[in-house]
Amino acid sequence: MSAPGISAHDLVYINYAVRTKRNSPKLITYRNLNNMNLNALHGSISCLPLDDIYLISDVDGKVELLNTFFADLIDEHAPLLKKRVKNQPTP
């Protein structure tokens, strides 16, 4: 296509159909900590058998017991939820 009057250069253009790859929906797993009943959590913590820690002589065993207590409490009061996400948030 000629463009007279524009310093004797011809305009170059291209019409190219760009196809973007659509992201497939992903399933994410999360915990909703906003709706957790803190009074019920406090009651569950007060009912834990923490005296069992003194029965274990190994430090690794004590840590494992506390981690088990904590994981059970979190699973009870803030269970895992699954959600399908179409668009990932931009970084």
7: left (phi over 0), alpha (psi -120 to 50) or beta: left
In this structure, what DSSP letter does residue 24 have?
A: P
Question: What is the mean predicted confidence (pLDDT) over 22-29?
Answer: 85
pTM of the model: 0.61
The band of 25, judged by pLDDT with boundaries at 50, 70 and 90, is confident
What gap in Å lies between CA 17 and CA 31, rounded to an integer? 42
Alpha helices in the chain (DSSP H): 38-46, 59-77
Confidence grade of residue 7 (pLDDT, cut at 50, 70, 90): low
Percent of the chain with pLDDT over 90: 56
Residue 78: how many CB atoms within 10 A of its CB? 17
pLDDT digits (tens, 9 = 90+) for 71-81: 999 999 999 99
Q: Which amino acid is at 74?
A: I
Which residues sit opposite 85 in a β-bridge? 26
- Listed by start position, the domains of the chain span 1-91
